[in-house]
Amino acid sequence: MKGGENIEIKKALIRISESLDDLIEPQYIIIHHTEEIGWNVYDTNDYHISLGWEGIGYNYFIEEDGTVFEGRGMKIGAHTRGMNKISIGICLSGNFDIGFPRQEQLISLKKLCTFFMKKYNISIKRVIGHREVENSKKSCPGTNFDMEQFRKSLI
C-alpha cells in the first residue's frame, strides 16, 4: 500500500461479484468482529453466502495473527445497514464480548485505518465501532474492544 503505512493486504481465494458497485468516497471506517471464535475470512465468506449475500460483506478482514485480507476491497460492502455506501467495513476475527483483540490484530487495524484516513481524508471521529452507528443494537466490535482507546492510538 502507498501512503506511508507498511501493510500487506493479501487476496483471499474468494469470488466477489463483478456486479458490485465501487465504493467511491468513503466517509467512515466501521470496525467489526466476527463474534464467532476461530472464524477466518473463508468461514465468514461462506456464512455470508449462506445468507444470500454476494460474498463476504466486509471490505477488509484481519485474521487472529494480524494477516489482512481483502474482502470486497473497494466495492460497496454489506456490513452496516444504512452505511455501506459511505464506509469501509473492517472485521477482526474473534469475539470481543468474551475475549480481547490480539496485539497483532490491533497493529494491522491501526495501519489499515491510518492508510484509509489519509487516502480519503477520514477524521478520527469517523472511525467507529458498529455499535456506535445510530440505531445499532449490537455490541460489535465487542464490549472488550475499547473504541476510544483505539481512536487515541490513531493520533
Query: Is the predicted pLDDT of residue 18 greater than 60, yes or no?
Result: yes
Q: Using one digit for the tens of pLDDT, what is the confidence trace for 89-147?
A: 999 999 999 999 999 999 999 999 999 999 999 999 999 999 999 989 999 999 999 99
Domain positions in the chain:
21-153
pLDDT at 51 > cutoff 50: yes
6 or 88: which leads in pLDDT: 88
Per CATH, the homologous superfamily of domain 21-153 is Peptidoglycan recognition protein-like (3.40.80.10)
Whether the pLDDT of residue 4 is over 60: the answer is no
Angstrom CA distances, 94 to 6, 89, 125, 150, stand at 24, 15, 24, 17
Per-chain mean pLDDT for the chain: 93
Task: Return the C-alpha torsion angle 65, 145, 5, 155, nearest 10.
Answer: -150
